[in-house]
C-alpha cells in the first residue's frame, strides 16, 4: 500500500497543519497540530474516540494554540492516516490493548521532544488519557476527560475470584424486548462489515450515528441508572443497548436526519463529515473495534498491575448534558469524583451538547480547556 499523504489543507481550519511521525511504537502516526514548537511552549495532546479522528479536535485546536500551547492531535492506532497497525480480525489483537496505546502516546510525546505534556481524551480516547495519567504522572502532568468518566483502576485483588451471579448479556436477551450491549456487539466478527458495507453507505451511516448521539436528537435526556442490570441498562437508547436482532447500521438508520436538519447542522457540515467518511471508506472500522475487543475479551487484564492506584494529577471532566456516555456505566462519574481522581478541579456538563461535546460546543469547551491548562502551566512555572 503506498504511503498516505497529509490531510488536504483545504479541509483544515486556518492554523492547523497535517504531518507524519515515523517510528512511533511501530506506527507511522498522522498528527494534526497547531501552535509553534518554540522552546518553553507547553504541549497539549488531544486523543480522539470512536468512530472519530484527530480531525474531531479541529474546532478547539486554534483557540488552544492562540492561548500559547503547542497542540497535537494524533490519529490513534487503528484510525485515519496512521499506519502500521493490523486490521485483521484474526491478527495482532494484543497490540491494541490499553497498555500499548499508552506506550503509543508516550513514544509520540518523546518524538515531539517533550518530557511533560497535558493530555485530553474524549470517548475511548479518555480511557487512554486516564491510562497515561495513572501510569506515567511524571510525563502527563494533567488530564482532561470528556464524555467517558474514569471509574478507577482495577480493584485490589481480594484473594478469591468474584463471579457474577447473573450473566448480564443473557439477562438482556431475556427481556420482553430482547437487547444486547453495543460494546460486545462491536467485538463480534460481523460488526466491521455491518458498518463498512452497510446498504446506506459509510457517509450516511456516520451522519445518522453522529446525529443519534448528539443533542440534536430529542430523545437524548440522560439520567443516572441505579445498577448494572438488564432492566436498568435497557433504559438507554439503542445506540448503547441495541435490539438483539439488529446491527449498528440498521439501528441508526431510522434516525437519519432530514436534508433540512443536515443543512442546519452547524457543528458537522457535509464537507466536514466527508473527511470522516473518506477515511472510514478506505480503512473500515476494525482498527477502532479492536479496542472494544480488548476491553470485552480480557486483553486489558495486564492493567491489574495498577490495581488500587489513583490518578493524582490535576483533572477535569467535560461532557454534554445530553450525553448518555456519562451514565452508561452506573456509578462511574461518582467514583471518578470521589475516589478515582484525587485532584479533580471540575466536572462540567454543557447545555446544547450530546456525545460530541468538543464539536457541538467548541467555544465553551475551548474556554474550559484554556482556563484549566493555563492554571497547570502557571503552577509548573512556579515549581
Active-site residues: which are they? 123, 355
Q: Which of 49, 62, 68, 34 is nearest to 376 (CA)?
A: 68
Cα–Cα distance measured from residue 256 to residue 23, given in angstroms and rounded to the nearest whole number? 41
**What are the φ and ψ backbone dihedral angles of 160, each rounded to 5 degrees?**
-140, 135
Amino acid at each position: 500500500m503506498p504511503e498516505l499523504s497529509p490531510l488536504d489543507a483545504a479541509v483544515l481550519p486556518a492554523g492547523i497543519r497535517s504531518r507524519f511521525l515515523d517510528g512511533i511504537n511501530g506506527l507511522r502516526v498522522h498528527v494534526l497540530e497547531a501552535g509553534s514548537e518554540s522552546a518553553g511552549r507547553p504541549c497539549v495532546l488531544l486523543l480522539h474516540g470512536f468512530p472519530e479522528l484527530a480531525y474531531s479536535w479541529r474546532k478547539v485546536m486554534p483557540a488552544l494554540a492562540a492561548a500559547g500551547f503547542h497542540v497535537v492531535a494524533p490519529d490513534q492506532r487503528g484510525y485515519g492516516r496512521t499506519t502500521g497497525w493490523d486490521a485483521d480480525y484474526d491478527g495482532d489483537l494484543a497490540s491494541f490493548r490499553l497498555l500499548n496505546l499508552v506506550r503509543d502516546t508516550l513514544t509520540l510525546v518523546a518524538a515531539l521532544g517533550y518530557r511533560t505534556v497535558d493530555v485530553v481524551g474524549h470517548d475511548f480516547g479518555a480511557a487512554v488519557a486516564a491510562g497515561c495519567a495513572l501510569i506515567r504522572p511524571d510525563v502527563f502532568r494533567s488530564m482532561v476527560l470528556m464524555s467517558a468518566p474514569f471509574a478507577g483502576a482495577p480493584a485490589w485483588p481480594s484473594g478469591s475470584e468474584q463471579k457474577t451471579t447473573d450473566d448480564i448479556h443473557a439477562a438482556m436477551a431475556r427481556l420482553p424486548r430482547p437487547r444486547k450491549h453495543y460494546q460486545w456487539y462491536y467485538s463480534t466478527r460481523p460488526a466491521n462489515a455491518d458498518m463498512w458495507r452497510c446498504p446506506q453507505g459509510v457517509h450516511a451511516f456516520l451522519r445518522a450515528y453522529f446525529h443519534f448521539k448528539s443533542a440534536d436528537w430529542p430523545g437524548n435526556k440522560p439520567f443516572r441508572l441505579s445498577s448494572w442490570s438488564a432492566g436498568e441498562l435497557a433504559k438507554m437508547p439503542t445506540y448503547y443497548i441495541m435490539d438483539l436482532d439488529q446491527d449498528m447500521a440498521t439501528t441508526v438508520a431510522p434516525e437519519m436526519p432530514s436534508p433540512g436538519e443536515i443543512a442546519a447542522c452547524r457543528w458537522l457540515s457535509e464537507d466536514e463529515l466527508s473527511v470522516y467518511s473518506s477515511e472510514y471508506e478506505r480503512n473500515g472500522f476494525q482498527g477502532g473495534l479492536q479496542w472494544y475487543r480488548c476491553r470485552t475479551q480480557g486483553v486489558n487484564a495486564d492493567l491489574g498491575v495498577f490495581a488500587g492506584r489513583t490518578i493524582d494529577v490535576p483533572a477535569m471532566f467535560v461532557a454534554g448534558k445530553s450525553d448518555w456516555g456519562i451514565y452508561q456505566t452506573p456509578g462511574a462519574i461518582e467514583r471518578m469524583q470521589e475516589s478515582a481522581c484525587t485532584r479533580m478541579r471540575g466536572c462540567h456538563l454543557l447545555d446544547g451538547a450530546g456525545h460530541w461535546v468538543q464539536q457541538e460546543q467548541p467555544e465553551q469547551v475551548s474556554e474550559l480547556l484554556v482556563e484549566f491548562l493555563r492554571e497547570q502551566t502557571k503552577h509548573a512555572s512556579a515549581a
